[in-house]
Amino acid sequence: MENLNRLDMDQIDPSELSTLNTLENKLYSVFQPIYSFSNQACVGAEALVRGRSLENGFQVPVYNCLEVPEGLTQAEFSHQLNRMHFENWAKLKRPDNWMFLNLDFEGVTSLGDLYISEFLKDLKMQGHEVVIEVVESEIKDEGLFDKVINTLRDLGCLIALDDFGAGHSNVDRIWKAQPDIVKLDRGVLLEATKSLRSQSVLRNLTNLIKQAGSICLLEGVENREQALLAMDIGVDLVQGFYFARPRQLLDRIKQGESCIKEVTEQYPAYIEEKAFLKQIQRKGYETLFESFLGMPNLAELELQMEKLLTLSFVKRFFILDQEGYQVSDEYNVEDKVKQVSVLKKGKGLCWKNRRYFVKAIQSPGRLYVSEPYRSLIDMQLCLTVSKVVYINENPFVACFDVSYVDKSTESVQISV
């Protein structure tokens, strides 16, 4: 086969590319570019299938393209689709770019069903040019899965775990398969655009993937705000309509690289705005502690803190000594609390391992605002705001639990 391998996609006509005809449809390859923030460039593209009706030429839904034609097994059909993708990538590929290819495990019953080595040999490609994507939910035979992964790695292929975070994702899969790349499902990104708490979950997932030794790829990025969030979260690679839609030719890569550069240039302003909003919120919480200077004794501090329970967002307060033990009674807003009776309350509780204690005692004079968490007192989401208060030169940590409302990330609220 002629290897066109040209950087100028205008010289390639789609008619030169391989297609696959079924009884009803003409199937063809499209490729969606994948970009790196650090490289500021395209690093590869995912091979996808699209189709048109042989009868009227209209585009057909993707699920129709993936229906196994009569007379073929799933493995035989997957073999034909994958050969088409390999042939087209061999014609279009750019230097030092990966082809991402989804491996359908439903059609794999033996190592002989893969044919990857055959494709590589026939098209004079190297294994390290290919990233094989496996969908976690399709893995049924663990023994066969391990053999397939080892065989692909022996060929030099990279392994990507696809759709992580969707359905019943199992973190254990990352430890066992040790994928080179983990693709976070678009649903995780959509949730992260709705609330700050979900953003924290996405950030933690990204950190988990990196700490496991894998590259993190976030798919489904569709607008500038999501792209900025992806960069802030710290993912390595991004994919989505905002950068480039799937196309038969790789002729829109430069536009996607321009988007990457624009997002990178806008990122400092994005961070500055986030810091400004946090400063506004922090100043609101600072007012809770303004009257606590020069407290003569613990009882007076409790009295002053109790007065603030009338504020709508304050749920409760408590005071800790310098060892992290609670020295105040339990003060709750009665209509806001449903206590679990098995939990001990009031004086003597130990909170020395809580960040709101550790951070406050490490930085006297500085306000600390915790991440949202579920309180053991009423099993509701809250934030804890803490700061060191001195009584007769002895440090105590004054703490307020305030309501946390998981609102839109676009709103500025004192409870976030």
Compute the average pLDDT of residues 119-133: 95
Q: What is the mean pLDDT of residues 382-396?
A: 95
Average predicted confidence (pLDDT) for the chain? 88
What is the C-alpha to C-alpha distance for residues 156 and 359, in angstroms, rounded to an integer? 47
Q: pLDDT digit string (tens) for 304-331? A: 999 999 998 999 999 999 999 999 987 8
pLDDT at 205 over 80: yes
Are 32 and 45 contacting, i.e. CB atoms less than 8 angstroms apart? yes
Of 89-103, 111-125, 291-305, 382-396, which gets the smallest average pLDDT?
111-125
Taking residues 5-25, what's their average pLDDT? 79
17 alpha-carbon distance from chain centroid: 35
Contact yes or no for 193/229 (Cβ under 8 A): yes
State pLDDT tens for residues 259-310.
999 999 999 999 999 899 888 888 889 999 999 988 999 999 999 999 999 9
Say what percent of the chain tops pLDDT 70: 90
Structure tokens that stand for 23 in this block: 């009884």
**Predicted local distance difference test score (pLDDT) of residue 111:** 72
Compute the distance between CA of residue 356 and CA of residue 384 in angstroms, rounded to an integer: 7
Q: Which two tokens stand for residue 279?
A: 């400063």
Give the residue-averaged pLDDT of 96-117: 83
Q: Point out which residues pair with 394 in neighbouring strands.
A: 391
- For the segment 352-380, what is each residue's pLDDT rounded down to a tens digit? 999 999 999 999 989 999 988 888 777 78
Residue 334 above 70 pLDDT?
Answer: no
Dihedrals φ, ψ of 403, to 5°? -60, 140
Question: How sure is the predictor about 408, in pLDDT bands with cuts at 50, 70 and 90?
Answer: very low
Rounded to whole angstroms, how far apart are CA atoms 29 and 329? 68
Comparing 61-65, 117-121, 229-233, 334-338, which segment has the lowest mean pLDDT? 334-338
CB 373 within 8 A of CB 361: no
pLDDT of residue 416: 29
- pLDDT score for 5: 42
Residue 209 and residue 177 in contact, taking contact as beta carbons nearer than 8 Å: no
Identify the weakest region by mean pLDDT among 5-19, 31-45, 68-82, 268-282.
5-19
Confidence grade of residue 22 (pLDDT, cut at 50, 70, 90): very high
pLDDT in tens, 161-196: 998 887 656 677 788 889 999 999 999 999 999 888
Amino acid found at 261: K
Beta pairing, strands 41-53 & 98-103 = parallel
% of residues, the chain, pLDDT over 90: 67
What confidence tier does 55 reach under pLDDT thresholds 50, 70, 90? very high
The predicted model gives 193-212 an average pLDDT of 91
Give the pLDDT mean for 128-154. Answer: 84
381-391/368-369 β-pairing: antiparallel
Q: How far apart are CA 366 and CA 361, in angstroms?
A: 9
Instruction: Pull the structure tokens for residue 83.
Output: 């050969």
Question: pLDDT at residue 216 above 90?
Answer: yes
**Is 341's pLDDT higher than 60?**
no
Burial of 93 (0-12, 13-18, 19+ CB in 10 A): buried
pTM of the complete model beyond 0.85: no
- Asked whether residue 236 carries a pLDDT value surpassing 80, the answer given is yes
